[in-house]
């Protein structure tokens, strides 16, 4: 197939690597991509948020399938522009993408579908925020209502910090104050063709910047899969109580959900609850889920895009453990320092069980030697989360050892990463 992948992060790099692993001779292009993606496939200088440009390119080049990676193009309606021209696209419409673009919309859908979730109230003023925080009590959960690049959520026992966060995001719109839910968090990706659903393997990510879940919230500093501590009926329960009711409610409202329904869940003493929905693959969970996938990804994505998931068997996954560790720039997530060179990537990727999945990287030309005509290019960091090192192993200890050996070979001045990804589950598995 001719496949166009929109996006420039490690999530999109993981999708492309999974497609290439099929050995099906797909013609894959990415827009805009990054340095690592560009080493694997052809990249285009096209704005992925411009539906007209994307659809025109896909039509002119006979693209069979467009895979939308990030949330911004979905909320901008890029999928609608593609469908209007009859191009298969994996990604929900602008209307359906409100599940991620508006947390208030998502809460309304959950209520209509009878999906288990925590209490929440939308507030539009600081006075309303103060009153709601006091009514709900600590720990406080404050969320920006719209897209916030993974930085719109604050969970804290500090009332002043909660109010400061609310004040910041009230400048951009409304804010949600939510009930605090305690328990283990789980990410489950569910493929949907608007009627039928298929689950991928669960994963767990690490949202805090520092070890032991300290420091500010981030877009995610690492992840692992599978989750051996989950009940064996967990996935079936989520499909029946969360995914299917949501997809059916969206269809009944005239906004069928076609694409990837990201279910952000928490396992509480009272049962499974939904923390949030996203309308696309999660990052960094995608980086540890797809390397374990045995079923060809292209068939799953195309089946969802064309309404043909009915009767398709559940995807199969290897028994291998996958551990992913994110390397971030100095100053992330507040003010990341960019433009610094990445060294040691070849050494880090020498292990065949390790993948280096690029996110915020680009190639920078180095000055040519004064006595020669050649010049070289070096990868540099261009943003906060720079790359994800993913390792497979037969055990958590083996996967962790490979991942940390590899990331230890990479040098980025001021770079930072957590050292405890999957440490707890590895210790439990060893007991």
User: Quick one: how far is CA 320 from the chain centroid?
Assistant: 21
Structure tokens at 228: 């051996």
Q: Per-residue DSSP letters for 69-107?
A: -SHHHHHTTHHHHHHHTT--EES--TTTTHHHH-HHHHH
Q: How far is CA 406 from the centre of its chain?
A: 22
Q: Give CATH 3.40.50.20 domain extents, the chain.
A: 2-90
Can you give the pLDDT at residue 80?
98
Predicted local confidence at residue 370, as pLDDT = 47
Residue 289: partners with Cβ closer than 8 Å, 6 or more residues away: 189, 200, 201, 203, 225, 322
> Measuring CA to CA, how many Å separate 221 from each of 83, 211, 329, 332?
34, 10, 12, 11
Q: How far apart are CA 31 and CA 58, in angstroms?
A: 11
What is the per-residue DSSP string for 11-30? HHHHHHHHHHTT-S--EEEE
Q: How many C-beta neighbours within 10 Å does residue 124 have?
A: 12
For 2-90, give the CATH class: alpha beta
Name the CATH superfamily, with its identifier, for domain 121-178.
ATP-grasp fold, A domain (3.30.1490.20)
- pLDDT at position 369 is 52
Provide CATH 3.30.470.20 ranges for the chain.
Answer: 182-305
Q: Classify burial at 371, counting beta carbons within 10 Å of its beta carbon; exposed 0-12, middle 13-18, buried 19 or more.
A: exposed
What would be the CATH architecture of the domain defined by 182-305? 2-Layer Sandwich (3.30)
Taking the C-alpha atoms of residue 330 and residue 219, their distance in angstroms, rounded to an integer, is 15
pTM of the model: 0.93
**What CATH number labels 321-430?**
3.90.600.10
Q: Are 279 and 190 in contact (CB under 8 A)?
A: no
- Cα dihedral angle (278, 80, 358, 145), rounded to 10 degrees? -30
Q: Give the HSE-up count for residue 176: Cα atoms under 13 Å, Cβ half-sphere.
A: 25
Query: Residues of CATH 3.90.600.10 domain(s) within the chain?
Result: 321-430
**Residue ranges, CATH 3.30.1490.20, the chain:** 121-178
From first to last of its 431 residues, the chain has per-residue pLDDT tens of 999 999 999 999 999 999 999 988 999 999 999 999 999 999 999 999 999 999 999 999 999 999 999 999 999 999 999 999 999 999 999 999 999 988 889 999 999 999 999 888 888 898 988 998 999 888 989 988 877 666 688 888 889 999 999 989 998 888 889 889 999 999 999 999 999 999 999 999 999 999 999 999 899 999 999 999 999 999 999 999 999 999 999 999 999 999 999 999 999 999 999 999 999 999 999 999 999 999 999 999 999 999 999 989 999 999 999 999 999 999 999 999 999 999 999 999 999 999 999 999 999 875 545 444 445 678 999 999 999 999 999 999 999 999 999 999 999 999 999 999 999 999 988 76
Please say whether the beta carbons of 91 and 79 come within 8 A. Answer: yes
Q: Which residues contact 246 (CB under 8 A, 6 or more apart)?
A: 99, 109, 110, 113, 115, 257, 261, 277
């Amino acid at each position: 197939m001719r496949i166009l992948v929109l996006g420039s992060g490690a999530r999109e790099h993981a999708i492309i690597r999974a497609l290439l692993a099929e050995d099906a001779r797909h013609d894959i292009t990415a827009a805009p991509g990054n340095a690592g993606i560009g080493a694997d496939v052809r990249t285009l200088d096209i704005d992925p948020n411009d539906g007209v440009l994307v659809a025109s390119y896909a039509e002119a080049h006979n693209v069979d399938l467009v895979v939308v990676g990030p949330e911004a193009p979905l909320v901008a309606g890029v999928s609608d522009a593609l469908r209007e021209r009859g191009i298969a696209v994996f990604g929900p419409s602008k209307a359906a993408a409100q599940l991620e673009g508006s947390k208030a919309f998502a809460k309304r859908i959950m209520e209509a579908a009878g999906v288990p979730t925590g209490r929440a109230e939308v507030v539009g003023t600081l006075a309303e925020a103060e009153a709601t925080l006091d009514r709900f009590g600590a720990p406080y959960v404050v969320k920006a209502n719209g897209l916030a690049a993974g930085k719109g959520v604050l969970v804290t026992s500090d009332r002043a910090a909660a109010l400061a966060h609310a004040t910041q995001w009230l400048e951009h719109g409304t804010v949600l104050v939510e009930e605090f839910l305690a328990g283990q968090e789980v990410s489950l990706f569910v493929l949907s063709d608007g009627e039928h659903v298929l689950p991928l393997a669960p994963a767990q990510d690490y949202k805090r910047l520092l070890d032991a879940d300290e420091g500010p919230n981030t877009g995610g500093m690492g992840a692992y899969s599978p989750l051996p501590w989950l009940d064996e009926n967990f996935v079936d329960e989520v499909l029946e109580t969360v995914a299917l009711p949501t997809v059916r409610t969206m269809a009944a409202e005239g906004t069928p959900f076609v694409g990837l329904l990201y279910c952000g869940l928490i396992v509480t003493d009272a049962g499974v609850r939904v923390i949030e929905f996203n309308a696309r693959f999660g990052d960094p969970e995608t980086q540890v889920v797809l390397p374990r996938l045995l079923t060809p990804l292209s068939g799953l994505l195309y089946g969802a895009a064309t309404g043909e998931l009915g009767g398709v068997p559940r995807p199969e996954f290897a028994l291998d453990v996958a551990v992913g560790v994110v390397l971030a720039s100095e100053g992330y997530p507040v003010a990341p320092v960019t433009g610094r060179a990445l060294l040691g990537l070849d050494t880090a990727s020498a292990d065949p069980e390790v993948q280096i999945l690029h996110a915020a990287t680009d190639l920078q030309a180095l000055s040519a030697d004064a006595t020669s005509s050649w010049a070289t290019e070096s990868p540099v960091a261009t943003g906060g989360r720079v790359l994800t090192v993913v390792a497979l192993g037969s055990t958590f200890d083996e996967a962790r050892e490979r991942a940390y050996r590899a990331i230890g070979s990479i040098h980025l001045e001021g770079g930072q990463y957590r050292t405890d990804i999957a440490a707890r589950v590895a210790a439990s598995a060893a007991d």
